[in-house]
Amino acid sequence: MTGLSTSTPPVLPTTPTGSSLQRLADEAWARDAGRSELIFEGRRWTGDQLADRVRRLSGGLRGIGVAPDDRVVVCMANCPEVTVTYHAVWRAGAVATPVLFLLTEDELRHVLTDSGAVLVVTTPEFLPKVTAAASAAPTVRGIVVAGEHAGADSAVPLLDFAALESAEPAELIDSEPSSLAALLYTGGTTGRSKGVMISHDALSAAAWAATATSYDPAHRTALLPLPLSHVYGLMVSVMSLHTPEPGVTVLMRWFDPAGWLQLAQQHKVNLSPLVPSMLQMLLQQPLEAYDLSALVRLNSGAAPLPRQVIDDFGRRLPRVEIAEGYGCTETAAIIATTPIGQARPGSVGKPAPGVQVRIELPDGSEAATGRDGEICIRGPVLMSGYWHAPEDTAKALRGGYLHTGDVGRLDADGYLYIVDRIKDLIIRGGYNVYPRDVEDVLVQHPDVVAAAVVGKPDPKYGEEVVAFVQLVPGSRTTPEELVAHAKQHLSAVKYPREVRIVDAIPLTSVLKTDRKRLRAQLVSERRSAD
C-alpha cells in the first residue's frame, strides 16, 4: 500500500504493461523488499520474508501438480497468506481466482464448478463451507488451509503442504503479459455471477494507475481493512510492484470500527481505503477520543458516498481528506481516482491514467459536458472478456468500450460524477427517480445511519418509491417523520410514500447496498397479498 499527501507526486514509470506479474515481482523484490513491511495482529513481516514464502509456496504448488493456466481459488479471511498465495500462484504460471468469504455454499460451488478450479486455499473459519462446496466440484483436487485447524482430513495445512521451512525456492514460470492472471466472479446482483478475465497487463496497469495518482513517500503507513479476496485486494497486492519507495501496511483480519481506530492511533496511520458503510460506522464512534493526527486521507469506493457523510467527517476531522474513487471488476478495480489534495465533493475524481471515459446517450452518441448518460470505459485496465460467455462479452464491450450500466456525467474540468445504476432507476408516473437522490436526503436526518431506496410495483404510477432506513440506536423517529423530512427536500415525484425502519440495510457480498434483495422482498409481499 502507498502513502498520500498534497505534495507533488514522484515520477513513476510510464510503461505499466509488457511484463508478467511474476517478473515484475522479482524485480521489485530485488529492488526494495527489505524495506517494505506488513503488520498483522502484532507480528511484523518484512518484504524479504514474504518474498521467500512466495517462492517456496510456488514450489509446493507445482509439487502437487498445479500447472500453468490452472485456476486456484482463494477464499480466505485477511492474513499475509492471501497476498503470498496470489504471487505464488502467478509464479507457478497459474491463475488466481479470489472469492469473497461472504459467498454462500451454493455460490461458492458455482464458482468452483464454472472456473474448473483445481485447488482451494482457505482459512479455518471457512473450511466447512469450502469442503461442502468442493465435494460437488469435480475438478477440485485439494484444499489447503492457512493457519490452525482442528483435525480436518479433507484439508492440508499450508505450512505442511508447501514445506515452507525446507523447500527450495522455486524459479518462476514466466507468463505472457496478455495471458490470464485472475478470474474474478461478479457479485451476481443481476443474475448468476460471471467470471471476469483479467490479464497480467490489465492488473498491472490498474495497480500502476492507482499508484500514479495516490503515491507520496511522506505518508507511507496505510491501514487496510477491506477484504483481500476481492478485486480491490487483488489490485492492492500488485501496487507495491510499481511503488518507488516501499511503505508499511497494517492489515486487519476483519473490519470493526473500534479496532480500526485503535490501530490508526497505535501505528500513526496516514491513509486507509474504506467503503461507505465503514465510514458511516466510524461516524458512530467517538473519533475525537483518538489521536488521529497522522491521518491525512481516507479513500472511499465500491458504492456512492452520501454527501452528508463527507460533511460530517469534514466537521469532525477537518484535516482529513475524503477522496472518492470508482471502479468495477471488469476494470481491475479502477476507473477514476481523486488526485492528491484535489477532492471535489460528489465526484469520484478524474479518469485514472490511461483510462478513457465516454458518457453515452441511449442512441449511442456521446453526451455533452454536464449531461447524464451511461459511463463507458476503454483502456489497458479492461478485462479480456467474460469466462466462457462470448455473447455477454460482445454486449459489454460493444464499440470497443466497456458499458458499465452506471449513469454519470463529466464536468468541464473532467471530474466524473456517478448518478446511479441504470437498473436501479425508478420510473414513477413517467418520471425518472434515482434512488441515490432520495437516499442522500434521508441520511441528512440526524437519526438516520443509512438508507436504501427501491421501486415497488404500483397499479397507478407503475412504480412507487419505498425507502428502507436504519436509525441511530435508541432513536424514536417514526416513518411518518422521515416521509415529512424527505418531502421538505424533494419534489412530489421523488419523495418516498413509504418508509420502513429496519435493523440494518442489507449488503451484498462486496459490501454494496443489496437493492435486489429489497426489491424481491416487495414483490414477494405483493404476491402473498394477491
Q: How much is the pLDDT for 149?
A: 60
The pLDDT assigned to 510 comes to 63
Q: How far apart are CA 301 and CA 291, in angstroms?
A: 25
pLDDT in tens, 123-135: 999 999 999 999 9
For residue 417, the model assigns a pLDDT of 94
194 and 392 in contact (C-beta within 8 Å)? yes
Top-confidence residue, 242 or 288: 288
The C-alpha cell 489447503 sits at 144
Instruction: Please check the confidence at residue 518 and state whether its pLDDT lies above 60.
Output: yes
Quick one: cell of 444?
A: 441528512
Q: CA-to-CA distance for 109 and 398, rounded, in angstroms? A: 31
Instruction: Report whether pLDDT(215) > 60.
Output: yes
Report pLDDT digits (tens) over 284-312: 899 999 999 999 999 988 777 888 889 99
Domains of the chain: 46-199 (3.40.50.980), 425-529 (3.30.300.30)
The three-class DSSP label of residue 494 is coil
pLDDT digits (tens, 9 = 90+) for 166-202: 555 667 888 999 999 999 998 644 446 889 999 999 9
Q: What gap in Å lies between CA 501 and CA 479, rounded to an integer? A: 7
Which residue, 107, 324, 87, is CA-closest to 195?
107
How does residue 153 score in pLDDT terms, banded at 50, 70 and 90? low
Other CB atoms within 10 Å distance of the CB of residue 162: 27
Question: Is the per-residue pLDDT at 279 higher than 50?
Answer: yes
**8-state DSSP, 507:** B
Q: Which range is least confidently modeled, 57-61, 76-80, 100-104?
A: 100-104
Over residues 103-115, the pLDDT tens digits come to: 888 889 999 999 9
Amino acid, res. 236: V
pLDDT at 162 over 70: no
Residue 484: pLDDT band (50, 70, 90) is: very high
User: SS3 for 388?
Assistant: coil
- Secondary structure (DSSP) of 310-355: HHHHHHH-TTSEEEE-B--GGGTT-SEEPPTT---TT---EEPTT-
Paired residues of 462 in beta bridges:
458
Q: Strand pairing of 498-502 and 462-471?
A: parallel
* pLDDT over threshold 90, residue 247: no
d(CA 429, CA 506): 28
The percent of residues above 70 in pLDDT, for the chain, comes to: 90
Query: Do 262 and 243 contact (CB within 8 A), yes or no?
Result: no
Higher-scoring residue by pLDDT: 268, 235: 268
Quote the CA–CA distance of 238 and 236 in Å, as a whole number.
5
Task: Work out the mean pLDDT of the chain and round it to a whole number.
Answer: 86
Q: Which ranges of 343-467 would DSSP assign to H, the alpha helix?
A: 390-396, 435-442
Alpha carbon of residue 242 to chain centroid: 20
CA–CA separation, 454 vs 517, rounded Å? Answer: 10
Query: Per mean pLDDT, which range of 91-95, 169-173, 503-507 is the poorest?
Result: 169-173
**Mean pLDDT in residue range 310-322:** 93
Angle at 253 between CA 249 and CA 257, to 5 degrees: 90
The confidence score (pLDDT) of residue 13 equals: 45
Question: Which residue from 216, 231, 178, 184 is spatially nearest to 200, judged by alpha carbons?
Answer: 178
CB 1 within 8 A of CB 188: no
Q: What is the mean pLDDT of residues 84-110?
A: 91
Range picked from 263-267, 278-282, 341-345 for highest mean pLDDT: 263-267
Mind listing the pLDDT tens digit for each residue in 5-30?
A: 333 333 444 456 678 999 998 888 88
End-to-end Cα separation, the chain, in angstroms: 54
How far is the C-alpha of 333 from the C-alpha of 97, rounded, in Å?
15
Beta strands in 27-77 (DSSP E): 37-40, 43-46, 71-75
Range in 229-233, 321-325, 348-352, 372-376 with the lowest mean pLDDT? 229-233
pLDDT tens, residue by residue, 372-393: 999 999 999 999 999 999 999 9
Select the more confidently predicted residue: 211 or 266.
266
